[in-house]
Amino acid sequence: MIARAARRRTATPPPAGGGPVPARPLPWLLPVLLFVGLFYLWPIVDALRLAFTDASLLDRDAAFSTEAIGAMLGSPALGTVLRNTAIFTLGSVVGQILLGLAIALLVVRGERNGLRGMLVMRTLVLAAWVIPGIANGIIWQMLFSEAPFGAINSALRLAGLPPVAWLSDPGNAMMSAIIATVWQGTAYSMILLYAALRSIDDTLYEAAAVDAATPWERFRFITLPELRGALLVNAILIVIMTLNTFDVIISLTGGGPGRATEVLALFTYNTVFYNFDLAGGSVLSILLMAISLALAALVAAFLPRAGRR
Amino acid sequence: MTRRLTASTLALALAGAPLLAQEDMVTRDRVGPADAENALTFRLTAYDLYSSDPATSAAFEELFVDFIEDNPGWRIDTQLQTGNLSQEQARMIEQAQAGRGPDCAMVDSAQLATYKAAGILSPMNEYFTEEEIADFFPYVRDGITDEDGNMLAVWWFTDLRVLYRNTEVVPEAPQTWDDLQAAALATVEQGYEGILFNGARGEGTTFDWLANYWALGGELVDEAGEPVFYEGENRELFLQAVRYYESLVDSGAAPARVTSIATYDDMLAAAAASTTAMFVGGNWMYAQLQTTLPEEEAAKWEASELPGPTAEQRATGTGGWTIAALTDDPEKVRMCAGIAKLYLGPGNAFQGLLPTQASLYDEYDTYAGPEFEVFSAALENGRARPGVAIYPEISNQIQILLGEVMSGAAEPEAALDAAAEAVEAAYARQ
């Protein structure tokens, strides 16, 4: 009997790194599953359901239809909107990662050298992050104002430089929207990468110093490879957040001039609240989610796996 | 000493009691006693009872307290609308359809048709006499009644667009589009920005510009409510009005930055900074100019009717807000009509807003100023936006179209074709 029990124990060893798994895990997982299902999955399922109807904000009686899918995916504006979304996302993500990394490196380096004021610097960068998107858009709208008294253009004039059509020129308006988004989102990247930088083993840098490695070589062959996981996770999260951004844009440019800065999230919003087209908005929401998931999966494919670096 | 202090404290308490009582009667989410038997939910904007201007909020508090005292047993649960108009109004329709909407609400006159189409408004006829209903301006009466003659809302104030100018720089009011362009170019030569108007994504852009299209005789929709602005004669008139805006920017009479102007506050700021001598604004901005600018500067600003393609062809967009009942309970509809009457008469007179009933202009001294002569004359050519559910999308497409044309991203014809396609697709899905 004792021998059989001992055999059974050795036959099903507990998983590494965890305690014993209950024989019936479902009751333990049920609260979490219910919570996730209710608050995360149900809205997605509902959006999917609405996408296959002719639902409108003006009429609660919706019938099954695939018309909304055809209308939205065949919309002549969708191409421009997707192009805007791609430019906005790429510019914002690259900007946030590069600036976030630069500031994180600066702060870590400053802390290692005992430089004063690093905490203040971190806090200052974080201050931008806690500002709501709408307020961020309004702040930058005032800064980018092309009126003779506009803040940035006045500074340019003082420096003897010509003023810039920040918001009225279709090309510049997208750049302005990216700048406003990068300004706000950099803090998030900085914090993630700062934490990752702090966890890099100092002995690696000490060994590199013994080998007389240059700063660039230390960055290229130690910092970047060690940060790979954090950079990719950071990229996934920022891509998703940026794709969903519309608050900064609606208060900064409203999507204009024309459609110059109308991204997919704003187009979805306009479809629901101008056209009252709930079904069309749901189709676009699902499209937005599909793009987010595809991009996240693409980036995740490069994530280091356990046992492989 | 102690007795004197006690007496003083008592006197102070007695004197302050009514004030405290009134303060308790109006809170951030309620008017009336908290334990009142009946409650009416009222969704309002933040410009009167909860205005940031203490004088305005105090005046409305007094009106509301008097009203609640006249209706014992009632309290009003107030709900503030957000500044995001289109979202707020659309959300309210959805809530009303689900039975979770307010009992009474302020509805933008431009959105009223959508509410009517959704069938969520209760008639208010029995709380107004036939004379009172007949006293509304004709376009207002048309907007608030349905085919059966039911009065579905109270359009409590109207507004209109006019041309503001600094008379020291532009002494004579431009009468035609050509006059305006020449006057604006003359101000540019003097170092000003030229004429300013809304040109970014926002309802103000459509509304400012529509006056020009209407002055030409163009129509956005036909009698059946179907969009027609891109067809037949309307198409030519539409393009003519678009080219007028385009030429203002191309000639330098208007700065390119108009495509980034989405609020009238930008115009006010430019007037205060003396960087512009002319702008298209709402009638309410006359009072804002008087309070924002120093007295001698404010005196230089005058309003005049918007110029037309010719001096005889004029139009101006008229807007404003309504109060409507979204409940079937007759007692609540009565209370809602009572609130609307507060705004219609004394509320308008206090704020200097334009009432929608002709008799009120004679009833209150507020409307004796010379600016009201200009406004009432311009109202003769007033046009309301079409009361159809497709209007918000037409407006959205006009904003896109004007932005693209004025920023040089598209030619008027191509931009109109794209707008027509989008509006037709949206109309087919409604």
Per-residue pLDDT of B365-399, as tens digits, reads 888 888 888 998 888 888 888 888 889 899 999 99
Tell me the mean pLDDT in the region A51-78: 89
In whole angstroms, give the CA distance from residue B155 to residue B106.
9
Flag whether B145 is in a domain: yes
Chains A and B: how many Cβ contacts under 8 Å? 130
Residue B50 pLDDT greater than 70, yes or no: yes
Which of B34, B14, B35 has its CA nearest to residue B24?
A: B34
Flag whether B265 is in a domain: yes
Contact B318, B160 (CB under 8 A): yes
B414 and B288, same structural domain? yes
Q: In what order do the strands lie in the sheet with B154-157?
A: B26-27, B30-31, B74-80, B38-44, B104-108, B321-325, B154-157
pLDDT for B324: 97
Q: What b/e readout covers B334-363, taking b as 16+ CB neighbours within 10 angstroms?
A: ebbbbbbbbbbbbbbbbbbbbbbbeebeee
pLDDT for B257: 96
Tell me the mean pLDDT in the region B60-66: 96
pLDDT for A126: 84
pLDDT for B229: 97
Q: What distance lies between CA A286 and its chain's CA centroid?
A: 17
Which of B310, B298, B314, B292 has its CA nearest to residue B371?
A: B298
Say whether B392 and A275 touch across the interface (CB within 8 A). yes
Q: A15 to each of A8, A19, A22, A248, how far by Cα in Å? A: 15, 7, 12, 47
Mind listing the pLDDT tens digit for each residue in A224-267? 999 999 999 999 999 999 999 989 999 999 998 999 999 999 99
Mind listing the pLDDT tens digit for each residue in B115-148? 988 899 999 999 999 999 999 988 889 889 998 9
Q: How far is B49 from chain A (nearest CA, A)?
A: 25
Residue A124: band (very low, low, confident or very high) from pLDDT cuts 50, 70, 90: confident
Tell me the mean pLDDT in the region A28-54: 89
Flag whether B166 is in a domain: yes
> Which of B353, B374, B395 is where one domain is finished?
B374
Tell me the mean pLDDT in the region A9-16: 48
Handedness of CA B41, B47, B51, B55 (dihedral sign): negative
Residue B44 pLDDT greater than 80, yes or no: yes
How many other CB atoms sit within 10 Å of the CB of residue B21? 11
Give me the residue from A146, A256, A277 closest to B429, CB to CB.
A277
Say whether B94 and A57 touch across the interface (CB within 8 A). yes
pLDDT for A7: 45
Residue A10: band (very low, low, confident or very high) from pLDDT cuts 50, 70, 90: very low
pLDDT for A296: 87
Contacts of A148 in chain B (CB under 8 A): 193, 273, 275
Q: Who has greater pLDDT, B173 or A7?
A: B173
In whole angstroms, give the CA distance from residue B351 to residue B77.
23
**What is the extent of the structural domain holding B66?**
36-152+320-374
Flag whether B13 is in a domain: no
B391 and B302, same structural domain? yes
Say whether B275 and A258 touch across the interface (CB within 8 A). no
Residues 231-250 of chain B whose Cβ lies under 8 A from any Cβ of chain A: none
pLDDT for A20: 63
Say whether A254 and B407 touch across the interface (CB within 8 A). no
Burial category of B392 from C-beta neighbours within 10 Å (exposed 0-12, middle 13-18, buried 19 and up) = buried
Mind listing the pLDDT tens digit for each residue in B314-325? 999 998 999 999
B63 and B51, same structural domain? yes
What does B359-397 look like in DSSP terms, one character per residue?
HHHHH-GGGGSHHHHHHHHHHTTEEEPP-STTHHHHHHH
Flag whether B24 is in a domain: no
Say whether A148 and B401 touch across the interface (CB within 8 A). no
Q: How many domains does chain B have?
A: 2
Residue A19: band (very low, low, confident or very high) from pLDDT cuts 50, 70, 90: low
B389 and B367, same structural domain? no
Q: How far is A181 from chain B (nearest CA, A)?
A: 18
What percent of chain B is predicted at pLDDT more than 70?
95
What letter represents residue A304's amino acid?
P
Range of weakest confidence among A6-10, A189-193, B55-59, B223-227: A6-10
Flag whether B82 is in a domain: yes
- Domain with B43 in it: what CATH number? 3.40.190.10
Say whether B404 and A59 touch across the interface (CB within 8 A). no
Residue B8 pLDDT greater than 70, yes or no: no
Say whether B429 and A168 touch across the interface (CB within 8 A). no
Say whether B86 and A274 touch across the interface (CB within 8 A). yes
Ordered structural domains, chain A, with CATH: 79-300 (1.10.3720.10)
In whole angstroms, give the CA distance from residue B392 to residue A267.
14
pLDDT for B1: 42
CA count, 13 A, side-chain hemisphere, A92: 32
Say whether B403 and A275 touch across the interface (CB within 8 A). no
Give me the residue from B97, B396, B421 closest to A270, CB to CB.
B396
Residue B23: band (very low, low, confident or very high) from pLDDT cuts 50, 70, 90: low
Residue A191 pLDDT greater than 50, yes or no: yes
The contacts of residue B416 (CB under 8 Å, 6+ apart) are B230, B235, B238, B239, B242, B401
Which of B223, B239, B245, B231 has its CA nearest to residue B306?
A: B245
B225 and B111, same structural domain? no
Q: How far is B396 from chain A (nearest CA, A)?
A: 7
B178 and B68, same structural domain? no
The contacts of residue A151 (CB under 8 Å, 6+ apart) are A142, A143, A145
Q: How far is B401 from chain A (nearest CA, A)?
A: 6
Nearest chain B Cα to A273, which residue?
B87
Residue A306: band (very low, low, confident or very high) from pLDDT cuts 50, 70, 90: low
Residue A2: band (very low, low, confident or very high) from pLDDT cuts 50, 70, 90: very low
pLDDT for A1: 42
In whole angstroms, give the CA distance from residue B22 to residue B49.
13
B134 and B221, same structural domain? no
Coarse DSSP helix, strand, coil percentages of chain B, rounded to the nearest 5 percent: 55, 15, 30
Say whether A276 and B389 touch across the interface (CB within 8 A). yes
pLDDT for A57: 82
Give CA angle at B75 (B69, B81), nearest 5°. Answer: 120
Q: Which two tokens stand for residue B86?
A: 């289109």
Contacts of A163 in chain B (CB under 8 A): none
B177 and B204, same structural domain? yes
Mind listing the pLDDT tens digit for each residue in B86-117? 778 888 998 998 889 999 999 999 889 889 88
What percent of chain B is predicted at pLDDT more than 90?
69
In whole angstroms, give the CA distance from residue B212 to residue B207.
10
B136: β partners:
B357
Q: What distance lies between CA B169 and its chain's CA centroid?
A: 29
Q: Which two tokens stand for residue B283?
A: 């009638």
pLDDT for A9: 45
Strands (E), B291-345: 301-304, 316-318, 321-325
Residue A214 pLDDT greater than 80, yes or no: yes
Contact B309, B315 (CB under 8 A): no
Residue B14: band (very low, low, confident or very high) from pLDDT cuts 50, 70, 90: very low
B126 and B43, same structural domain? yes
> Which of B374, B403, B420 is where one domain is finished?
B374
CA count, 13 A, side-chain hemisphere, B102: 24
Q: How far is B111 from chain A (nearest CA, A)?
A: 10
Contacts of B87 in chain A (CB under 8 A): 269, 273
Give me the residue from A147, A165, A255 closest to B201, CB to CB.
A255
pLDDT for B22: 53
Tell me the mean pLDDT in the region B338-365: 91
Tell me the mean pLDDT in the region B214-221: 97
3-state secondary structure chain A: CHHHHHHHHHHCCCCCCCCCCCCCCHHHHHHHHHHHHHHHHHHHHHHHHHHCECCECCECCCCECCHHHHHHHCCHHHHHHHHHHHHHHHHHHHHHHHHHHHHHHHHHHHHHCCCCCHHHHHHHHHHHHHCCHHHHHHHHHHHHCCCCCCHHHHHHHHCCCCCCCCCCCHHHHHHHHHHHHHHHHHHHHHHHHHHHHHCCCHHHHHHHHHCCCCHHHHHHHHHHHHHHHHHHHHHHHHHHHHHCCCHHHHHHCCCCCCCCCCCHHHHHHHHHHCCCCHHHHHHHHHHHHHHHHHHHHHHHCCCCCCCCC
Residue A3 pLDDT greater than 60, yes or no: no
pLDDT for B273: 94
> Which of B354, B374, B394 is where one domain is finished?
B374
Flag whether B330 is in a domain: yes
Q: Who has greater pLDDT, B252 or A40?
A: B252
How many other CB atoms sit within 10 Å of the CB of residue A218? 16
Tell me the mean pLDDT in the region B342-351: 93
B282 and B349, same structural domain? no
* Mean pLDDT taken over chain B: 91
Residues 400-419 of chain B whose Cβ lies under 8 A from any Cβ of chain A: 400-401, 403-404, 406-407, 409-410, 415, 418
Residue B13 pLDDT greater than 60, yes or no: no
ipTM over 0.90: no
Tell me the mean pLDDT in the region A264-286: 93
Mind listing the pLDDT tens digit for each residue in B198-215? 999 998 999 999 999 999
B105 and B43, same structural domain? yes
Q: B413 to each of A279, B169, B236, how far by Cα in Å? A: 31, 36, 10
Flag whether B10 is in a domain: no
Interface test with A, best of B88, B89, B201 (most A CBs within 10 A): B201
B117 and B42, same structural domain? yes
pLDDT for B82: 79
In whole angstroms, give the CA distance from residue B143 to residue B130.
17
Tell me the mean pLDDT in the region B247-272: 95
